[in-house]
């Protein structure tokens, strides 16, 4: 039995490879209502020696390529890794899209803004961020999302929800007030040059001790929070309720009775699952004492993750917060399977879950490395040049005269757009 459980987990680890090869195995695509085959039926019967020319369904998610049903959720992993940065996995970040058009970002850890950009979603729709706590691997890219989103077409404030702390200076509002101040030079340097509407933060701080209390309720969506146990007082977990479905994001936490209660029966439940203690000692060079403390007490060990999932019995359990590698993930899976034998995803960046009441479909996203910001949903506002902060006389005097070489560009743009812009 235990071997079968381990094999099931390994299948989850290599899901993308199996899914991508589905049509070679004769797997049917239920959504398309037709079998996926290497050769189209017409060619198979008339000219089996010819390669197909018709499009074939691929079992992957390409951004902006498919509709989201009116009662369907789509979850995309934009960061599944650990506090130390690496190209393969950004730090914690999860994008939840609903069939009503709402989009929510849960955590925006270091490196995750690049993953968000790769999904090619207009930034005006990415204005709601929920922070589980204030470690940088959970909000370290908030400044990048804030600034790049405003530059890329978010013409409204970035709204952020996060917990208070046990002292005022440890709360979300204090952290974001100081972050905004830290961006003073950046923000001042954009005045009078770009559309100003996106360069505002709207902070919604709530009590971290609230027990399943509502922190957001709009457009038929209810989001609740309850306490998590991690590092200090302050971290929280979130529950999203919509159309009779429940999505739970645990953030970082030691397994706790509140998660066991409020995540019970979730359609999708995300909970941290750290790497196995022996690999912490081997890979991260932790001392045995440090590995035990961090890997089993500050974070959730794989065995403990499995026990929690056995308690709440979700339709899909998602483990994150580990480096998903060929030589470490099998140990995580084997340890989870000592305490849990239900549906499991061992997450990695760009993994995608489509969730309905009848089905949960798991795939990988394929993204374009050469993306540009998608078109804005509103016409940009012309900046007011009177708001620009001028250079000092010393810096202004250092400008090299380029007017003659730049004037043709001004002439071209003025003629094309009916303007009368002049060089400084």
For 142-158, the DSSP string reads HHHHHHHHHHTT--SPE
**297: in domain:** yes
Domain boundary among 319, 348, 364: 364
Task: Report which of 154, 52, 118 is spatially closest to residue 378, judged by C-alpha positions.
Answer: 154
**359: in domain:** yes
Do 162 and 108 sit in the same domain of this protein?
yes
Rounded Cα–Cα distance for residues 216 and 341 (Å): 34
The pLDDT tens digits for 273-302 are: 999 999 999 998 999 999 999 989 999 999
Rounded Cα–Cα distance for residues 107 and 130 (Å): 6
Main-chain dihedrals φ then ψ at residue 333, nearest 5 degrees: -60, -45
Structure letter (DSSP) for residue 232: B
Helix (H, G, I), strand (E, B) or coil at 10: helix
Rounded Cα–Cα distance for residues 7 and 341 (Å): 11
Rounded Cα–Cα distance for residues 249 and 232 (Å): 19
What is residue 20's predicted lDDT score, i.e. its pLDDT? 33
Q: How far is CA 348 from CA 225, 269, 403, in A?
A: 25, 15, 51
What is residue 56's predicted lDDT score, i.e. its pLDDT? 77
**407: in domain:** yes
Do 254 and 183 sit in the same domain of this protein?
yes
Do 205 and 275 sit in the same domain of this protein?
yes
Element (H, E) at 405: helix 403-417
What is residue 174's predicted lDDT score, i.e. its pLDDT? 98
Instruction: Give the range of the structural domain holding residue 412, as residue numbers without chain letter.
Output: 392-417
Do 133 and 272 sit in the same domain of this protein?
yes
**Residue numbers of the chain with a pLDDT score lower than 70:** 1-46
Rounded Cα–Cα distance for residues 186 and 389 (Å): 12
What is residue 145's predicted lDDT score, i.e. its pLDDT? 98
Q: How far is CA 392 from CA 184, 194, 309, 395, 396, in A?
A: 18, 21, 61, 5, 6
Domain boundary among 364, 382, 402: 364
Domain boundary among 324, 347, 364: 364
Beta strands in 253-300 (DSSP E): 268-272
**52: in domain:** no
Q: Is 391 left (phi over 0), alpha (psi -120 to 50) or beta?
A: beta
**CA 417 from centroid of its chain's CA atoms:** 38
Contacts of 253 (CB under 8 A, 6+ apart): 228, 229, 230, 235, 237, 259, 271, 272, 300
Q: How far is CA 366 from CA 53, 64, 123, 248, 321, in A?
A: 22, 11, 20, 25, 22
What is residue 25's predicted lDDT score, i.e. its pLDDT? 26
What is residue 45's predicted lDDT score, i.e. its pLDDT? 52
Taking the alpha carbons at both ends of the chain, their separation in whole angstroms is: 76
What is residue 122's predicted lDDT score, i.e. its pLDDT? 96
Residue 257 sits in a domain whose CATH number is 3.60.15.10
Contacts of 369 (CB under 8 A, 6+ apart): 118
**48: in domain:** no
Do 413 and 280 sit in the same domain of this protein?
no
Place of tokens 């094999």: 7
- Into how many domains does the chain fold? 2
Q: How far is CA 180 from CA 135, 177, 193, 234, 339, in A?
A: 17, 5, 19, 21, 45
Do 274 and 411 sit in the same domain of this protein?
no
Q: At what angle do helices 142-151 and 172-182 cross, to 10 degrees?
A: 60
What is residue 46's predicted lDDT score, i.e. its pLDDT? 67
**174: in domain:** yes
Do 337 and 411 sit in the same domain of this protein?
no
Contact 352, 76 (CB under 8 A): yes
The pLDDT tens digits for 191-231 are: 999 999 999 999 999 999 999 999 999 999 999 999 999 99
What does the block give as tokens for 67? 């509709």
**314: in domain:** yes
Beta strands in 99-200 (DSSP E): 103-108, 128-130, 158-163
What is residue 310's predicted lDDT score, i.e. its pLDDT? 98
Task: Report which of 159, 164, 148 is spatially closest to residue 113, judged by C-alpha positions.
Answer: 148
């Amino acid at each position: 039995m235990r071997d079968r459980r381990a094999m099931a987990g390994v299948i989850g680890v290599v899901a993308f490879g199996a899914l991508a090869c589905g049509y070679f195995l004769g797997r049917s695509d239920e959504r398309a209502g037709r079998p996926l085959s290497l050769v189209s039926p017409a060619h198979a019967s008339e000219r089996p020696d010819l390669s197909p020319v018709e499009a074939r369904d691929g079992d992957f998610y390409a951004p902006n390529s498919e509709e989201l049903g009116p009662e369907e959720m789509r979850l995309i992993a934009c960061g599944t890794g650990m506090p130390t940065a690496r190209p393969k996995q950004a730090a914690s970040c999860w994008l939840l899209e609903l069939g009503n058009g709402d989009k929510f970002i849960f955590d925006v850890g270091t490196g995750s803004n690049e993953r968000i950009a790769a999904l090619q979603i207009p930034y005006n729709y990415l204005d709601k961020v929920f922070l589980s706590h204030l470690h940088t691997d959970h909000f370290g890219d908030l400044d990048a999302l804030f600034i790049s989103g405003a530059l890329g077409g978010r013409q409204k404030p970035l709204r952020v929800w996060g917990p208070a702390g046990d002292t005022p200076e440890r709360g979300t509002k204090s952290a974001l007030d100081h972050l905004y101040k830290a961006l003073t030079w950046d923000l001042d340097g954009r005045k009078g040059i770009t559309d100003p509407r996106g360069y505002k933060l709207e902070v919604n701080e709530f009590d971290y001790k609230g027990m399943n209390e509502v922190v957001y309720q709009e457009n038929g969506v209810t989001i609740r929070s309850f306490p998590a146990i991690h590092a200090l007082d302050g971290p929280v977990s979130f529950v999203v309720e919509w159309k009779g479905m429940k999505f739970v994001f645990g953030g970082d936490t030691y397994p706790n009775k509140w998660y066991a209660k409020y995540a019970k029966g979730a359609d999708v439940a995300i909970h941290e699952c750290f790497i196995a203690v022996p690999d912490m000692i081997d890979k991260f060079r932790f001392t045995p004492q440090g590995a035990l403390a961090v890997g089993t007490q500050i974070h959730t060990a794989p065995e403990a993750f499995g026990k929690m999932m056995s308690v709440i019995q979700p339709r899909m359990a998602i483990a994150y917060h580990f480096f998903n590698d060929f030589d470490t993930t099998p140990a995580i899976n084997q340890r989870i399977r000592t305490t849990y034998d239900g549906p499991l995803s061992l997450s990695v960046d760009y993994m995608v879950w489509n969730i309905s009441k009848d089905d949960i479909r798991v795939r990988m996203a394929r993204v374009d490395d050469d993306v540009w910001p998608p078109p804005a949903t509103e016409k940009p506002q012309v900046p007011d040049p009177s708001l620009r902060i001028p250079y000092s006389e010393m810096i202004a005097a250092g400008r090299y005269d380029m007017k003659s070489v730049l004037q043709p560009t001004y002439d071209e743009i003025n003629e094309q757009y009916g303007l009368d812009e002049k060089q400084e």
